[in-house]
Amino acid sequence: MAHVDNVLPGRVHRVIYERMVDDTEREIRALLDYCGLEFEPACLSFYETDRAVRTPSSEQVRRPIYRDATEEWISYEPHLGPLKEALGPVLNAYPDAPVTF
């Protein structure tokens, strides 16, 4: 992503899941604005659609955005040292995003 940011600055819109959970409407509006699309109230109730969904995440599409998984990593934290080391500065690449481990 650092390369893409250097070559095409501002071309990637990042969605930080924790922010999406905390303020879904603001994040959806920001994404739609980035894409040049207008906000529609149905964007907040996407899970109420009756249309067919043919993706591996089809069951998730039928649920509202949820916080359940945001802290799943905590029980694995004692074992994450090598991963943190390998990722190095990438963990700090998004200073305004919550650090997830």
Whether residue 79 is contained in a domain is answered as no
Whether residue 85 is contained in a domain is answered as no
Per-residue model confidence as pLDDT tens digits over 7-62: 999 899 988 888 899 999 999 999 999 999 999 999 999 888 888 878 777 777 78
- pTM for this structure? 0.72
CA 88, CA 85: separation in Å to the nearest integer?
A: 5
The domain of 29 spans 2-71
Nearest CA-CA partner of 64 in 99, 21, 101, 10? 21
Whether residue 21 is contained in a domain is answered as yes
Whether residue 60 is contained in a domain is answered as yes
SS3 at position 79:
helix
Could you tell me where the DSSP H helices lie in 8-56?
17-22, 24-35
Domain count, the chain: 1
Per-residue model confidence as pLDDT tens digits over 82-93: 988 898 888 777
